[in-house]
Structure 1
Amino acid sequence: MVDVIIKKLKKWYRKAERHVVHLAWILNARFGPKLSTDLTEKATIIIPSYSLERIKNIEPLTRNLLKCEFVERIILTNNNPQVSIDHYVKIEDPRVKTINQTVRHGCAYRWELTGLENAKFLIGIDDDLLLFPKQISYLFKRLVEKPEVPHGLIGTFDSNYYLNREMEVDVIHEIYAISQTHLRRYLELYEEITTRGLASVESIEFWSDDLLISRTGTGRPNIHDAGYILRCKTAVKTGVALYQDEEFKLRRDEVRNALDT
């Protein structure tokens, strides 16, 4: 009986904590202060959007990111032709660029956008990850300090899932802080394995760009502890979260095998 009560209390606490943090995130987007750092380097941030259920996250996420002085540009690529991101994002800032794709694309398409070749550092963020300015700043500092490997906040090592850790991992997920060198290497890997027929374009574009990005450094990618990670409620929702797709494991195994060939 006591165990049941404790379990229910823990569940209630986690739910309450998320509500409080989410409210703080929304308020910070509108009323939070600018975040200054001692960084001289600049970053371009790419946020792809796919789902109507998540597109409402894009404006508050963008507003939070714009509070970081090191953010030089934010590219919002809407990969769902059925909607226009301009109906949901009302931000007048020269650093923000919105793109409405005419063809549905997967997550990997963000790395093929025109203009990225001019950015020294890039950060790709999935549309269900709701970050505060201090979190993205902490991650960017780690990239600048150690630019030879990709950096993130979430990852897997030896098939185990980790977050809120300072460690090396095999694969980073959901957020990717990389250099121009990593981007070029990603595009080389993409071209190599698709041209040779080792993996399909679709398997990479919709399910597996994280596997390629994680192989672009001189060593394993690093993840970092930037505090509580707030996610959209749809992060685990069937029909929205890609990892819930029936093809997910099969497609990723295809790409993983191609990389190991």
Structure 2
Amino acid sequence: MPHIMLTQLNYLVKTFPYRSALWYKIYIVIQAYDIFRGYLSIRKNLSSPPANNRFPEQKCVIILLSHNRYRNMNLIVRSALHNNFVSRLIVSNSNREVKIGDWIKVQDPRLELIDETQPTQPGHRFVLAKKENGDYFLSVDDDIFMTPRQWANFFDCLVENPEIPHGLTGNDYQPGQISSNGSPFHQVTEVNQNTDTLIGAFAFTRQHLERLFQLATFLNLPDLSLVRNGEDILLSFAGLGKPQIHDLGPIWTCASNGLPGVALWQTHLDFWDERIRLFEATQTVRIAMDEPWKEETSTHSLRHE
């Protein structure tokens, strides 16, 4: 059995003690099936020629972060690089007990592997993106496995509508209404619609990146590499409208995505309270930025006519 499959099944077994409801214990069988189906789908795509995306003249840079789930990275990288629109792919490993080159065996001149020497957090993805050339960027968390075709479709969504950031899963903020995760952030996925915040997967432009850093400055967040929780909120407010999520078909997610000690939202103290405070603060700052950003976009468009 492939190593990645054993890893996923091991994660799945570790979730069993946290399953209190009988239906959730039984549901583990369906999740095991989903692991096999997701793996076989990616393998099938990898054996086919690269997908033809709708904007072949456009290129993008992919930024991936790795910490606890370094065993997932080889397959994620292989799938992403099976696309001709990818100009560069950077993997930043923040786990100093791991050499990421021991786990990623892909040989490709577009690939750069970084073992960080200083502690970094999820916000570091945007610091890395800012250093790169290009206008388009994709980034997904290390618990999301997409097929090459899904990577291509995700990129197409961004190029087709670059005014807003794009994702696959979102949270709708509904104060006073508590969701199953115990917070006012209600998850939405497998639909095509606007949402309040993106989580897990991000497609954004150079302009979104510049605005994100403007928001960070106003919010007194001088070093995004140290932002552990909420960097996705900043990106979600960096467009001219609400971000949009897309249904790209079934997405295989790592069996550890709700596992305490691995999943950030299950591990980070005051995770949801922090997000509420940052969301409301960013929302206030964003209102003040509305007119300058619209004027900036209008000026940019005139220059290119």
Describe the SS at the equivalent of 1:34. coil
Select 2:149's aligned residue among 112, 134, 137.
134
Q: Which 5+ residue runs of structure 2 have no aligned equivalent?
A: 1-22, 174-184, 285-305
Q: Give the aligned partner of residue 277 of structure 2.
A: 254
Residue 179 (structure 1) aligned with residue 213 (structure 2): no
Q: How many residues align?
A: 250
Q: What is the alpha-carbon root mean square deviation over aligned residues?
A: 2.4
Select 1:226's aligned residue among 248, 255, 259.
248
Describe the SS at the equivalent of 2:237. coil
Residue 23 (structure 1) aligned with residue 39 (structure 2): yes
Instruction: Give the distance between the partners of 1:187 and 1:202, measured in 2 at CA.
Output: 8
Instruction: State the Cα distance separating 1:141 from its structure 2 match.
Output: 0.8
Cα deviations across residues 50-71 of structure 1 (Å, max 9, x unaligned)? 11xx111111111111111111
Q: Give the aligned partner of residue 158 of structure 2.
A: 143
Pairs within 5 Å for 1:27-66: 27-28=43-44, 31-39=47-55, 40-51=57-68, 54-66=69-81
Match of 2:262, as an amino acid? V
Q: Give the aligned partner of residue 123 of structure 2.
A: 108
Pairs within 5 Å for 1:166-245: 166-194=192-220, 205-244=227-266, 245=268
Describe the SS at the equivalent of 2:219. helix
8 A Cα contact 1:37 1:69, kept in partner: no
Instruction: State the Cα distance separating 1:13 from its structure 2 match.
Output: 6.0
Match of 1:101, as an amino acid? E
Instruction: State the Cα distance separating 1:74 from its structure 2 match.
Output: 0.5
Instruction: Give the distance between the partners of 1:145 and 1:123, measured in 2 at CA.
Output: 14
Instruction: State the Cα distance separating 1:35 from its structure 2 match.
Output: 1.7
Instruction: State the Cα distance separating 1:81 from its structure 2 match.
Output: 1.8
Cα deviations across residues 63-87 of structure 1 (Å, max 9, x unaligned)? 1111111111111011122211011
Task: Name the CA shift for 1:12/1:59 in 2 (closer, same or farther; >3 Å).
Answer: closer
Task: Name the CA shift for 1:42/1:184 in 2 (closer, same or farther; >3 Å).
Answer: same
Describe the SS at the equivalent of 1:123. strand
Instruction: Give the distance between the partners of 1:38 and 1:9, measured in 2 at CA.
Output: 42
Q: Give the aligned partner of residue 101 of structure 2.
A: 86
Instruction: State the Cα distance separating 1:8 from its structure 2 match.
Output: 8.2
Instruction: State the Cα distance separating 1:142 from its structure 2 match.
Output: 1.1
Give TM-score scaled by structure 1 length. Answer: 0.87
Task: Name the CA shift for 1:253/1:201 in 2 (closer, same or farther; >3 Å).
Answer: farther
Instruction: Give the distance between the partners of 2:209 and 2:59, measured in 1 at CA.
Output: 16
Match of 1:14, as an amino acid? I
Point out the more displaced range, 213-222 or 81-90. 81-90
Match of 2:170, as an amino acid? G
Task: Name the CA shift for 1:213/1:8 in 2 (closer, same or farther; >3 Å).
Answer: closer
Task: Name the CA shift for 1:28/1:247 in 2 (closer, same or farther; >3 Å).
Answer: farther
Select 2:111's aligned residue among 77, 83, 96.
96
Give TM-score scaled by structure 2 length. Answer: 0.75
Match of 1:78, as an amino acid? N
8 A Cα contact 2:122 2:225, kept in partner: no
Instruction: Give the distance between the partners of 1:43 and 1:202, measured in 2 at CA.
Output: 22
Instruction: State the Cα distance separating 1:241 from its structure 2 match.
Output: 0.5
8 A Cα contact 1:194 1:201, kept in partner: no
Residue 14 (structure 1) aligned with residue 30 (structure 2): yes
Q: Give the aligned partner of residue 156 of structure 1.
A: 171
Describe the SS at the equivalent of 1:104. coil
Instruction: State the Cα distance separating 1:257 from its structure 2 match.
Output: 3.5
Match of 1:163, as an amino acid? T
8 A Cα contact 2:59 2:85, kept in partner: yes
Match of 1:179, as an amino acid? T
8 A Cα contact 1:203 1:252, kept in partner: no
Instruction: Give the distance between the partners of 2:128 and 2:224, measured in 1 at CA.
Output: 17
Instruction: State the Cα distance separating 1:238 from its structure 2 match.
Output: 0.1
